[in-house]
Amino acid sequence: MAAKQSFASLSISPPSHSSYALTHCPISRKQVSFFFNSRSPNARRRPVSLRSQMPDSDSVKAGPNGSGSRSPASLSHDCSGAGASSSPSNAIDFLTLCHSLKTTKRKGWINHGIRGPESIADHMYRMAVMALIAGDLPGVNRERCIKIAIVHDIAEAIVGDITPSDGVPKEEKSRREKAALNEMCEILGGGMRAEEIQELWAEYENNASLEANLVKDFDKVELILQALEYEAEHGKVLDEFFLSTAGKIQTELGKSWAAEIHSRRNARLAKRQN
């Protein structure tokens, strides 16, 4: 399923010192202060066009397989022109905020006493790899699956990893994450890339496409695969994660991968009992 193209024009303001980000961000206040103060003091309100434009014919060269490819000169022009989705300052600010995805550990493992558990970024990365190696499926855009996997937990850079044990209702969790995502996209500077991130996140959150169905399954498959690995590494029995995902996988591919993980776990547990 191809991404929808939006035709709109927005006026983007630089991000404010959001009380939401300062209250809910898992990184320290000192880091947040440095992050926002590092923005250019000369940032001003500017229009950003979201209308796609066809390349000039002389900027497209035929590739080795006959497909069109942009020349280096035209690519350089596009990245520096008014159609660029974010400035270098916006991009680095956004990526700096995403750093917390690499350092924030997944809370479910912490609650079960796992030493040195995976980070949010670790989890999203292996989900993206799952999308990369999955076989072709009718009506499924694998590249879009990879994008959704990378984006689906990105708001946790601000809100952190909210788990069922936190007692936060599903609707409230979604509200917090959407607000955080909007904050991040404002930091990015708006434009086409920010809009795409919001669209991908909403698609996953609402389970609104075949790609979202599959990535939802990857989320659960990655969870039980990690649980299997931690059981072997730490000598634990992590039944909770296998029980919480049972019967919730939607696609045949997801079911087949989950069945393989369960088969390996059952064999290991049987061997352990003998």
pLDDT along the chain (274 residues), means of 10: 39 38 41 42 37 40 42 39 71 98 97 96 98 96 98 98 93 97 97 97 98 98 98 94 96 98 95 83
What integer pLDDT is reported at residue 85 of this predicted model? 60
Confidence (pLDDT) at 264: 97
Given this model, what pLDDT does residue 44 score? 36
Distance from C-alpha of 219 to C-alpha of 241, rounded to nearest angstrom: 12
Pair 130, 260: CB distance under 8 Å: no
The answer to whether 48 and 9 are in contact (CB under 8 A) is yes
What does each C-alpha distance from 268 to 254, 256, 274 come to in angstroms?
A: 21, 19, 10
Q: Which residues contact 51 (CB under 8 A, 6 or more apart)?
A: 7, 8, 9
Partnered with residue 68 across adjacent β-strands are 62
User: Which percentage of the chain shows pLDDT scores above 90?
Assistant: 66
Q: DSSP character for 119?
A: B
Model pLDDT, residue 42: 41
User: In degrees, to the nearest 5, what angle opens at C-alpha 88 toward C-alphas 87 and 91?
Assistant: 85
As to burial, measured by CB atoms within 10 angstroms (0-12 exposed, 13-18 middle, 19+ buried), residue 154 is buried
Give the mean pLDDT of the chain.
Answer: 79
What's the CA dihedral at 213, 217, 219, 223 to 10 degrees? 170
What per-residue confidence (pLDDT) applies to 237?
94
